[in-house]
Amino acid sequence: MLRRRRTISSTHHSHPPVVPPNEFISDFLEWHTKSKPGLNRALIVFSILTSFGLIGLLIKIFTVGLDNRQDWGYVATITAFLFSTAGCAPFIVIGLRMIKAHWRRPIARIAESYSLVTIVTFLLVLLLLVLVPSSQNRRTIWFQNDHIGTVGAIPFTPHLYVAIGILSMVLSGIALWWTSLKPDIQLVNAYKKSNKPLSNRSWIGGLKQWSIQKAGLSFLGAFFFMSMIWAITLYSVDLCMSLVPGWRDAIFPAYQTLTGIQGGLATIILTMYFLRRFGGFEKYIYMEHFWAASKPLLATCLLWFYFWFSAFIIFWYGKMPIEQDLLQLIMFGPYNIAFYIGFMFCFITPFLILIWNTVRKTIWGPPLASAFIIVGCFFDKLRLYVSAYSVQDDLSLHSITTIPPTILPNLSDILIIIGGISLPIFAMLLSTRLFPIISIWEMADGLRLTKVTKYLRTELRVLGKPD
């Protein structure tokens, strides 16, 4: 039932015509079920590139083993990178569903499909946990700092709780993806059997099923949000910050969570651009979607600087020896180039691109800024995790004794980086090949509520607001 209507004024760009729901369903089902040679070729290429990561991982395991943490900094980097891009992408659509943002509809399935990447990320975390010592007798968030064991000490820290936190994120993300996908799978299967599009009134499932699905999406979305915060906090603290003696930064987990939101949104925008460019969805993904996504992307750039500066200023003005050593280790010392690239690409460059409204209101502006952000995210993780894993001091100490030199990637690290960067692309291509990459039921609902009408000399897109 429609409660009221709201209007969104048009820009100098004319609105594309509103496609009837029946036509969208027919077009998309035909596109999804037909042969796609280009997609198959891309799938083969990125499957090979992704396998490079597995080969590099096996080489590293059988050549250097799991004895020296210094050899695994780039694996920790690519794991954190996957967390902060594809892993956090489902959070974006969760927030947009909560505020009932209409422009979320074409990107909802894109965001949810990236939860498949977290399965591999979880396996990488289990491997890295072997390199992390117990929290006993060292300074961590688990408060087990003495040589005889804290009274009421928490057992199996940090390994068990990091694994549980990340597994919760993986399971809730997969459940969210499947709950949203299930009605579309039934629709595709019915189309394949009948070889004709279903009518507008065809609806798989009754009112009760849809009520349960809506409640399930809300519950799973809330659970994913909580588990994502938990997982990123534990990973960034126990597999990075606590591995450097004397590194104490209460802002660091929030900063890492913010970079995940920024990277997840950038990943979705870039995927949306390629889906429009090579998938032929100009009628359903147009300028307004990029324009709407560019506004929170600009906000995350400003928040990135805010959280970074809030931590940096404490170390800079504190002038304690350990604080100066930390600045040298993770910013201005052996990994200063990675820091400058991350700072430039996560904040300055996308900020200068997105600050102009004329650039935000284009098809190419937000994807360009997103590409810079993804590159910057990788180098930002590199200067944090490779530097942390290069420290060989006793973790029970209160400060770093020496700042280790720069560790450059070897052959196995390069293969792992190639495979890790290719993994989200391969997962998205595979999901596009096997499952509907656009949420049919959400798009059809949105088209039923949309109308373009003329007002004086301009056009207005009128949206009906459902209860």
In a domain, 65, yes or no: yes
Higher pLDDT, 149 or 266: 266
In a domain, 141, yes or no: no
In a domain, 164, yes or no: yes
- Residue-wise pLDDT for 311-321, tens only, equals 999 989 888 88
- Residue 412 pLDDT more than 90? yes
- Residue-wise pLDDT for 227-277, tens only, equals 999 999 999 999 999 898 888 888 999 999 999 999 999 999 999 999 998
In a domain, 146, yes or no: no
- Residue 150 pLDDT more than 60? no
Taking the C-alpha atoms of residue 442 and residue 31, their distance in angstroms, rounded to an integer, is 17
- Given this model, what pLDDT does residue 169 score? 94
Higher pLDDT, 288 or 462: 288
Q: Which residues span the domain enclosing 290?
A: 2-136+154-466
- Residue-wise pLDDT for 318-369, tens only, equals 888 888 999 999 999 999 999 999 999 999 999 999 999 999 999 999 999 9
- Residue 199 pLDDT more than 50? no
- Residue-wise pLDDT for 202-241, tens only, equals 445 667 778 888 888 999 999 999 999 999 999 999 999 9
- Residue 12 pLDDT more than 60? no
In a domain, 347, yes or no: yes
- Given this model, what pLDDT does residue 147 score? 52
User: pLDDT band at residue 201, thresholds of 50, 70 and 90?
Assistant: very low
Enter the pTM of the model. Answer: 0.90
User: How many separate domains does the chain show?
Assistant: 1
In a domain, 71, yes or no: yes
In a domain, 147, yes or no: no
In a domain, 63, yes or no: yes
